[in-house]
Structure 1
Amino acid sequence: MTHTRLSSYSRGGLTFDVSDSGPLDGPTVVLLHGFPANRHSFDDVVPILNAAGIRTLAPDQRGYSDRARPRRRRDYRSAELQRDVLELVNASGAGRVHLVGHDWGGALAWQLGSSAPERLTGITVLSTPHPAAMVRSLVSSAQALRSLYVLVFQVPLAPELVLRPRLARLLRRMGLNPTAAARYGEFMRTGNRLSGGLHWYRGLWLPDGRAPRSRAVQVRTTYVWGNRDQALGRRAAELSRRFVRAPYRFVEVDENHWLPEHAPERVASEIIADVLP
């Protein structure tokens, strides 16, 4: 199979920007960012992986890429998000990849570990619990209180008006370092990027008959969780192992939610342990 160096790829009339680095003939890792970040959230992780002989693909996902930002909520349903990633795998020529996801990217990694195991060699999930574990934790812990902001984000337009001028400050209050908080705040000020990111939350509630039925993850999985995460608590983290039918590692670190930005060396070392023999 021919490996192709990418700066972008297209699907369904949308064009996604991608950072592609490292040896083309090395094992391929796809890095999926979360809200309100972008592909550059992995900038300190990528050089370590590349130095170890790993090729990395870091896309700006749907809603974040300027040429891949549909306006309708229904365009952010799970099936569309999963197909975006699988098309990236096709475009890269890699065949099978190791998938890494943080925050919303982590939720997507869990889903693909269940729905498309034949395209993956494994997954490394940062911060985000398995979706089914998250649902169970809502009734068995304080997670529902931690997640109230998700309901607020369903309101049209108002969250954008409130968040846009305040986002950097709110991110600092959530423990993100000032440099990254300022960078993401500035990124989200441009165009409709903030609406694009918020549509991931808004699409969560929409019925999607095209999405594969949820089932247990079928590939080797490592879940890295920070015990000072303000948004995602211990109960959901500990329940996640119930939804994996493959070798599984749970790695607890003394860190908050922002693992790619605050602990890039640890994140990279866990990925390398998963990818290289």
Structure 2
Amino acid sequence: MINFNGNIVEQDNILTQNRAFLYGDGVFETVKIINGKILFLEDHYFRLMASMRVVRMQIPMNFTMEFLEEEILKLVNEQGISSSARARITVYRNNGGLYLPQTNEISYLINTTVLERRLYALNLNEYEVDLYKDFYVTKQLLSSIKTTNKMINITGSIFAHENGLANCILLNDSKNVIEGLQGNIFMVVGNKLITPPVSEGCLNGVMRKQILALAKKLEGIEVSEEIISPFELQKADELFLTNVIMGIQPITKYRKKEFKTNLAHLLLQKLNESISEN
């Protein structure tokens, strides 16, 4: 038995044994489904497999891309939301052990929610950000994968809410810009599009990959992965964030600087065109 909020109740293994709950011993992917199709499925699948290998989870033989696709679509079809939905796949090590697990075998959980829009749309409402400096992201491989330990993102989100901000920008332990709380960051200076390299500690984002590929096809745009200092943000013409659910989110204000949205508009158009073609 356990004491749960002052009440003595029967033991619940989700609370007392689940390693994702106890130690953050889990990884996850969040995908977008449009018209019964998972966007960028291959990129999500291979990132999930890479994440599982990094944290030394045992990948079951049947855990193929086709299996994962079938399991996700089975749920959204059952719920009747396959036309536009979001799904999160959480993979965690099975119960047993303390810091040292008794097994590297895994279980998975998929949960879904309906999305209002099918294609991506640009949100042009005021979107002010600032730096979050209470904690820093370390430049290491674990920072580039999606684990169930997101305390920096949680405390940063609380900080943003308390200060009337739409989002915050995270820094690494070298005090360089790496990403937003919910997505990768891009900076436009003249005809140059810049985003921090994954080696700086940012998430190896699936949408980040799509935007880089689309931008490289645009005439007159130079694309670069470079270290970005906080000081350089105020010299930018545009700043925007990306993730698979929202697509592209322009930043309208950082400190006293306000930004344009020209390239964000163009890239969003190209993104929707690429989705419609597939």
TM range (shorter): under 0.3
More strand by share: 2
| TM-score normalized by the length of structure 1 | 0.22
More RCO (CA 8 Å, sep 6+): 1
| Greater helix fraction, Structure 1 or Structure 2 | 1
- Structure with larger Rg: 2
